Chains A and B, each alone.
Chain A
Amino acid sequence: MTKCQCREGFFTLRDCEQAATANCSKCGRAVCSRHFDRTPPGGGLCVECAGIEEQEGRLPPAKATTGGSFGGRSFYRRRDEFYRSHAHRPVYWGVVVDPYYDRYDVWSFHYHHHHDHVIVTDDGSDQDVAASLMDS
């Protein structure tokens, strides 16, 4: 099962635990139904890409009250804008190395020893870093 590649949280980030159901037509990441915005014409986007598209004026602004309890792309737009304008360095409580988040100065570190290091490869499959290091 491929997990959703979006990261949840605002002040600190963590992995979404849901199963991926679609791929973003911009970044290609596998995302769950909650993190998938179907509204953009020409294919759905992950909410993070949709938030950036909205910022750059290629998507109409979503109202503050849309997106149900989750907030949808308006939440991710706010997060992206805040990280950039306040140079916020969020702590990432996970182990997945994802170049998508290189745009932010994420304080990446793994939480506790029992987690495995995982890299998400281009084909969306998970790769155990520790196992790869042992192989090499």
Chain B
Amino acid sequence: MNKATLLSKNSPLLRTRSLEGTFPINEAVELFNALGTLDERNDRRRKLFKIFAIIGVVLTAFLLIADLAPIALLTGAAAIVLAVLVIRLGRIDIPNDVRLFVLPWLRILAADMEADGSVTLKLDLHEAHDKSQRIADQIANGKQWQQYHHPWFSGRATLADGARLHWDAVTHIREHTTHKSKGRTKRKLKQSIKYDVSLGLPADSFALGQLASRGIEKVRVKPGEKRNVVRVSYVAAAASLTPANVDDLIATVASAYRQAAPKPAAEQPT
């Protein structure tokens, strides 16, 4: 998929809000950089149009009160046009995760990969709280919890040091609504984003050390003849809908690297 197709009105990414495939790393970074720039521009325009639409509505009301109907008609029409533009821009809006999570992550991969390397990506840009992500309800402590399960970003790549990296990010949301008197409701929400990382380190250049965990992640190590595979899982929990933080994924991969030490040159094959 080239850049022009990805950014066009009929872009499969904008239409289906998902992307899957293998891309040359530099091309992937450029694509997401262009997407991020487009999203940034759209967000700015949407904000501006929204402000002007609100001003238009307020102005129209004042003009109608002041008995200036012909001018009120013009400002009213302008406010409607701006409101339509806000809605249309909202429909093609891309989550900020593209700009604040996927792009920085791909740049890190690009820095750690050979320039001609490829990355396999699977990205779902639907909101985690979208009804399409809802799974069976759960009953816990006599309460009914609505559940959402959203595997939104995974991929794999081979890094310049020979390590094979695989990552997976899944958002899980539990929500419980209590109906109180006088029609009031109380909503309780729990969000967790789980990052699973698998790092296959070449056995000829990395030696497994003692498990080094910060205590907040789960670490498993599987020694192998050619590769030592380190698996790290980390869960970022929140009591509200919180955007994913790319530093959590970076720290999970860094934790996988911490489980091994580079072998001294004398122990490496020439």
Contacts and interface: CB of A to CB of B under 8 A. Distances in A.
Interface in B53-105: 99-100, 103-104
Contacts of A71: 104, 107, 110-111
Contacts of B36: 64-65
Contacts of A91: 161, 257, 262
B250 A82 contact: yes
A34 to B, nearest CB: 11
Given A63-B40, A69-B30, A89 B258 contact: yes
Chain A interface category by residue count: 20 to 34
A70 to B, nearest CB: 7
A19 to B, nearest CB: 16
B108 A110 contact: no
A111 B103 contact: no
B160 interface: yes
Given A12-B159, A107-B261, A114 B107 contact: no
Nearest to B31: A69
Contacts of A12: 112, 159-161, 257
Contacts of B40: 63, 65
A61 B190 CA distance: 33
Contacts, number: 83
A9 B107 contact: no
B254 A88 contact: yes
B208 interface: no
A8 B111 contact: yes
Chain B binding surface, main DSSP class? helix
B4 interface: no
B247 interface: yes
B270 interface: yes
Given A10-B112, A63-B40, A64-B99, A111 B265 contact: yes
B26 interface: yes
A109 B159 CA distance: 18
A95 to B, nearest CB: 10
B196 to A, nearest CB: 17
A113 B205 CA distance: 12
Nearest to B113: A9
B204 to A, nearest CB: 10
A89 B255 CA distance: 10
A89 B159 CA distance: 17
Interface of B: 26, 29-30, 33, 36-37, 40, 99-100, 103-104, 107-108, 110-112, 159-161, 205, 247, 250-251, 253-254, 257-258, 261-262, 264-265, 268-270
24 contacts: A9-B112, A10-B111, A10-B112, A10-B250, A11-B253, A64-B36, A65-B40, A68-B30, A69-B26, A69-B29, A69-B33, A69-B107, A71-B104, A71-B111, A78-B108, A82-B251, A86-B251, A91-B161, A93-B161, A107-B262, A109-B262, A110-B265, A111-B268, A114-B270
Interface of A: 8-12, 14, 63-65, 68-71, 75, 78, 82, 86, 88-89, 91, 93, 107, 109-114
CB-CB nearest 4 A-B residue pairs: A69-B29, A71-B107, A65-B36, A10-B108
